[in-house]
Structure 1
């Protein structure tokens, strides 16, 4: 896709996260305004900008499924899918700003209604766990990959009878560095293509991206979508996240991954999640992050102009 125009969708929800502090809700809902403040939109060829106000934050654990805010998350996902549905007909790159990772549900629902799509899931965690796993506390942001591939309560996995929103075999989960055996085992037992951070570096970024794009072609998919949780980045570069870990991708590695994906003619768009402005109030880390994104999109636009 030649990125001549971008449609921006702001989905500022924090319903998929639990509270870290008693007196403060997760600040990820502030991310679109935070990006605007530090100039991201000034660098982009934006055609349209849409904002979908999220329900107010709450901590309501479902007694049956154990999922946090299940009804509110499902309702918001339906609204996301409806908003995206018409825009998917436009020949624009979709840049979707969270919010937390629960926005993946509505985004993949919209794509499922349109056709059969792949998912490049770039994240510091797998987010593929049974609901009652002790690792998640029932928060959808720690379950989103499981939900979109059909694992879990049907109130979120089978909205409008669309289950699964993406087939496991059409997903590459890349960059996980929470390597505890009990955490990783569920995704190893799935049909998802799983590449943790050590494997990514050992095998080579170019090779992994090539494998994904070959899968898209071989499976004759209608296109693919990119999930980008910023906690996949090195903790020194991006500590403003809710679940910090040592190590992570540097910006050179990130661009090596994203550049060929964003340039591909079958890409639909990219979602960015989990950067918490409460944890970067001076914009120290956000500003450097925006510089990298701006360079990525500038390079794509320039290359398409040259060709």
Structure 2
């Protein structure tokens, strides 16, 4: 364990797949626990408190009258509860490590962290942009919108979670591993000037250069870095159990190197691992990868 990382850690599961188009990711927290997350973290020297799961309820209908967003009511309820839990954990002086669940849960995680870290930097590992709004989304699935919401764009019930004034700065946000962006997302990313390291940049520059730049952007002059790691940022060879697989992603070692370097920066204040879907996985391979990556992010060293 890195001495600079908080030794007291809370593990928070969020059992929701209502923000996604593929069912099953609500089982992700259980799969990650089964893959040995608690043993991994306690073995690294952390005092781990398992906070259990925040549970989503299946609505009768995914649609709210006049609103394109799927399952809006329940996604808002779950993320509001998650925001409160993350803020509570940090108030107790503990490090929040959130397990998903679909990526809509980043709305609640980040809103909770912002209660304590007003000037937060974010490094977001993802094949996708997740910066759609109701107007630009092709599907209406909210797991494609958490970045927009966390920056203050989107439906008012989503942007209101944690307070409308507690939002991310666009110039302190970094994408890594992007390779599948909607047309509306490409436009808004350019308009906002958000830093995006696509797989093209990773191939050209190498992960060491990319992550050094990312840490500087998200870490210099901020209150710390939040890491949001979508398992679909990795190539499906290494993470088959995720609902929106895109070929040509991060390798296993590139992923570990990136997280190891963030740990070495001594700027990490919170993290989440999302989109583990054991229903479509191969022998819990993706959950096992998530646990191994948690170790690298939280200071596991060979020597």
TM-score (norm: length of structure 2) = 0.87
* Residue number among 75, 78, 81 corresponding to 2:80 in the alignment: 78
Deviation at 1:13, TM superposition (A): 1.5
* Residue number among 17, 22, 30 corresponding to 1:33 in the alignment: 30
C-alpha contact (below 8 Å) 1:169/1:193 kept by paired residues = yes
* Residue number among 64, 67, 70 corresponding to 1:68 in the alignment: 70
C-alpha contact (below 8 Å) 1:112/1:162 kept by paired residues = no
3-state SS of paired residue (1:299): coil
Take 2:78 and 2:18, find their aligned partners in 1: how far apart are those partners?
Answer: 9
Take 1:11 and 1:255, find their aligned partners in 2: how far apart are those partners?
Answer: 24
* Residue number among 143, 147, 164 corresponding to 2:149 in the alignment: 147
Structure 2, gaps ≥5 residues long: none
Take 1:201 and 1:68, find their aligned partners in 2: how far apart are those partners?
Answer: 36
Q: Which residue number corresponds to residue 247 of structure 1? A: 248
Take 1:134 and 1:140, find their aligned partners in 2: how far apart are those partners?
Answer: 9
Take 2:114 and 2:7, find their aligned partners in 1: how far apart are those partners?
Answer: 25
Cα separation, partners in 2 of 1:269 and 1:263, compared to 1, 3 Å: farther
Take 2:30 and 2:226, find their aligned partners in 1: how far apart are those partners?
Answer: 23
Cα separation, partners in 2 of 1:169 and 1:65, compared to 1, 3 Å: farther
TM-score (norm: length of structure 1) = 0.86
3-state SS of paired residue (1:146): helix
Deviation sequence 1:164-188 (CA, Å, 0-9, x none): 5212111101111115655523222
Q: Note if 1:213 corresponds to 2:210.
A: no
Q: How well do the aligned residues superpose, as a CA RMSD in angstroms?
A: 2.4
Structure 1, gaps ≥5 residues long: 21-25
Take 1:153 and 1:74, find their aligned partners in 2: how far apart are those partners?
Answer: 10
3-state SS of paired residue (2:132): coil
Deviation at 1:151, TM superposition (A): 1.6
Deviation at 1:217, TM superposition (A): 4.7
Deviation at 1:199, TM superposition (A): 1.4
Take 1:70 and 1:184, find their aligned partners in 2: how far apart are those partners?
Answer: 24
Take 2:252 and 2:124, find their aligned partners in 1: how far apart are those partners?
Answer: 17
Cα separation, partners in 2 of 1:295 and 1:108, compared to 1, 3 Å: closer
3-state SS of paired residue (2:229): strand
C-alpha contact (below 8 Å) 2:38/2:48 kept by paired residues = no
Cα separation, partners in 2 of 1:3 and 1:168, compared to 1, 3 Å: same
Cα separation, partners in 2 of 1:258 and 1:90, compared to 1, 3 Å: farther
Deviation sequence 1:82-141 (CA, Å, 0-9, x none): 111122145543221011101111111112222221111110101112323353x11110
Deviation at 1:81, TM superposition (A): 1.4
Take 1:72 and 1:292, find their aligned partners in 2: how far apart are those partners?
Answer: 29
Query: Number of matched residues?
Result: 294
C-alpha contact (below 8 Å) 1:65/1:153 kept by paired residues = no
